[in-house]
Homo-oligomer: A and B are copies of this chain.
Amino acid sequence: MRHPSGQPQVVIIGGGFGGLSAARALRNSPVRVTVVDRRNHHLFQPLLYQVAIAGLSPAEIASPIRSILRTQVNCSVLLAEVTGIDLAHRRVELVGGELHFDYLVVAAGAQNHYFGHDDWEPHAPGLKSLDDALEIRKRVLLAFERAERATSDAERSRLLTFAVIGGGPTGVELAGAVAELARSVLSTEFRAIDTVTTRVILIEMSPRILGAFSPETAKAAAEQLAEIGVEVRTGVTVSNLDAGGLDVAGFRIEAATILWAAGVAASPIAAALGADLDRVGRVLVEKDCSIPADPSVFAIGDMAAFMVGGRALPGVSPVALQQGAFVAALIDQKVRGMPRTERFSYRDKGAMSTIGRSRAVAEKGQLRLRGFAAWLAWLVVHVFFLIGFRNRVSVIFNWVWSYLTYARGARLITGTFDPRPSLHPGTLSDPDDEDPTLPPAPLP
């Protein structure tokens, strides 16, 4: 069905960096744009780990897609789940409906991937959505609360051990943030435990962390992680994990909280395009980001494998942003009847990873930063790109405040949970036990 205006219909699946970038770049084009997403908000994913460790509130890193695009009159936003794509009939199938398209931009992102170990997911949540972050926040905060109530040293030690699997930027950020939370923020608040004794173990399969960075930068990151007490274990494989801990290189680590940062795969929507996929489910796209079968259908961002020199571009926001703007320009040219053969080329923006308060690494070409300088660069870049002025000011305020006071703003446990120290049958302290009285508060 054509739009009554006669203008071509552009459907964009996904309101992440790629989708939003494409929608905004089409604001002056003679097209009708519909952005469809199963979430009502755009998520500033690079700061998601801050929600997971209670540094920021969800609303500080997320804005309603509808709100971001409200002034763009040729654009509407639809909250709906995509179930399929029918290229022949030019329609996107939704739960409870469908959408006609003339041009389609698929930018549905990536999701956690356990490489054949899906049964690990309940014990080791990954970090892709706000709900993921709130789940991790709950687990991390509850671990300390349960440790405060623990009645044995073994239980206490297990509850104060955190394992982070995966030494990429997300793993490094999570491990650093948990260590800082334990060592500074929480250290004055408990009476029965000393949170400074918390163990944080970062586990990486390959020989070093931050594989996408230079060896020097990775070394700088490892040194800074060690400074704040994170134990970095590289070149080791996780062979099993469960609710009580994990097996690494033949050794058992008793850890109540395990976080997954070892890998992501493309959204399953990628498969609906019928194109060839790479090892992690990404669409192998042409040089103009279209799919081989259809020059008016594009896949961009984390779910596309855009090959440069035999390697796919990394799943980072600058790639998605640039690809979104590129395909929007291409669609605009086609609609206006001046199609040109174009190739997308990526301008490398460099890479950075934060480790904690005043600690980070950054590199771009030959430029390499570490420590406070890298942290400041990271801060400026991330705050600058946060969508929506309110969020930006709010985040700056929160960071300045927590930098000065070591306080954390969003340490809330919501939803249902069981605050008891152990949920393993048999080790629960039973009210009928001989001496079940909790230890009284120690003297100061």
Contact = CB atoms under 8 A, between A and B. Distances in A.
Interface of A: 1, 3-5, 9, 32-34, 38-41, 57-60, 62-64, 66-67, 70-71, 73-81, 91, 93-100, 130-131, 134, 141-142, 145, 148-149, 188-192, 390, 393-394, 397-398, 401, 405, 407-415, 418-421, 428-431, 436-438, 440-441, 443-444
B409 A41 contact: no
A1 B440 CA distance: 9
Contacts of A428: 96
B390 A407 contact: yes
Contacts of A430: 96
A410 B64 CA distance: 9
A70 to B, nearest CB: 4
Given A59-B410, A431-B98, A74 B444 contact: yes
Nearest to A444: B73
26 contacts: A3-B440, A3-B441, A4-B440, A32-B440, A34-B441, A40-B412, A40-B413, A41-B413, A57-B59, A57-B410, A58-B412, A58-B414, A59-B410, A63-B411, A67-B407, A73-B444, A74-B444, A81-B419, A95-B419, A96-B421, A97-B431, A98-B436, A390-B398, A390-B407, A393-B401, A394-B398
Nearest to A405: B390
Given A134-B414, A431-B96, A70 B188 contact: yes
Contacts of A59: 57, 409-412
